[in-house]
Amino acid sequence: MKLNRLHGLLLALPLAVLAACAKPPAPPSTAVAAFVQQPQASVLDLMAGPVDAAADALWDAVGTESTAKGPVDKIPQTDADWAKLRMHAVMLAEMGNLLMIEGRVVARPGQSLENPPGEGDLTPEQSLAEINANRAAFNGFAKVMQDTAVTSIKAIDARNVDALLEAGGALDEACETCHTRFWYPKATAPPK
C-alpha cells in the first residue's frame, strides 16, 4: 500500500511537470510591455550619435576618392569591411524603430543642437510639439529612412556597389525630407 502510493506520486509528478511545460507561454503583462518602451535618449542623442555615425559609414564606404595619382574608386575591400558596413546599416534600420517610440524628447533638459540654429529653425521644443501633433508623418519619415537602410543591407549582402551608392543617395533624401518638415521648415536650401 505504502509503496503503491509512492509509486503513484512518482508517476504523477513528471506528468504535472510535462503539463506545465506544454502550456503556451502567458502573454506579457501590460506592466512588462510598458517597461520595454522607456526611451532614455533624446532625438538629438540618436541623431548626433548612432544615426549620423551609421549614415556616414554608408556614405563614406563607396564613391570616388581623389588621391595624388588621381581619382580612385572607393569600395569595401575585405570581408571585415563588408561586415562592419553591414553592422552600420543594421543599426540605422533599427534607429527607425527607436524614432517611432513615443515619449522621446527631442532634447534633454539643457541639451542644444551642436550647430547654431538657422533663422526660422524649430527649437527642439517646437520640433517636439510638431512631432506630437503629426506623429504619423514623423513615423512615415522614420520608416522611409528604415527602408533605405534595409535596401543598403540587401546591397551589402549582394556586394552590389552600384546599389549601395544608389541607396546612399536615397538615404540622404530620407534625412532631408524629415529635417525639412520637423527641423528647418522655413529653409529654402538645406544647410551645409
CB of 185 to ligand HEC, least distance (A): 10
151 and 163 Cβ atoms separated by less than 8 Å: yes
**Is residue 141 at the binding interface for ligand HEC, with CB under 6 A as the rule?**
yes
Q: Which is nearer to ligand HEC, 48 or 161 (CB)?
A: 48
C-alpha cell at 99: 524614432
Per residue in 116-146, is it b (16+ CB within 10 Å) or e — as a string?
eeeeebbebeebbebbeeeeeebbebbebbb
Please, what's the largest Cα pairwise distance for the chain?
96
CA distance 90 to 146: 9
Which position among 39, 52, 63, 147 is part of the footprint of ligand HEC (CB under 6 A)?
52
Which position among 85, 122, 153, 164 is part of the footprint of ligand HEC (CB under 6 A)?
122
**Is residue 99 at the binding interface for ligand HEC, with CB under 6 A as the rule?**
yes
Integer Rg of the chain from CA: 25
**Is residue 146 at the binding interface for ligand HEC, with CB under 6 A as the rule?**
no
CB of 128 to ligand HEC, least distance (A): 8
CA distance 145 to 92: 8
Q: Which is nearer to ligand HEC, 61 or 175 (CB)?
A: 175
**Is residue 47 at the binding interface for ligand HEC, with CB under 6 A as the rule?**
yes
Stretch that binds ligand HEC, among 5-13, 14-22, 40-48, 72-80 (CB under 6 A): 40-48
Is the sign of the CA dihedral 124, 126, 132, 138 positive or negative? negative
**Is residue 179 at the binding interface for ligand HEC, with CB under 6 A as the rule?**
yes
CA distance 104 to 38: 8
Which position among 48, 75, 91, 165 is part of the footprint of ligand HEC (CB under 6 A)?
48
Binding site for ligand HEC (CB under 6 A): 43-44, 47-48, 51-52, 55, 99, 106, 113-115, 122-124, 127, 138, 141-142, 145, 171, 174-175, 178-179, 182-183
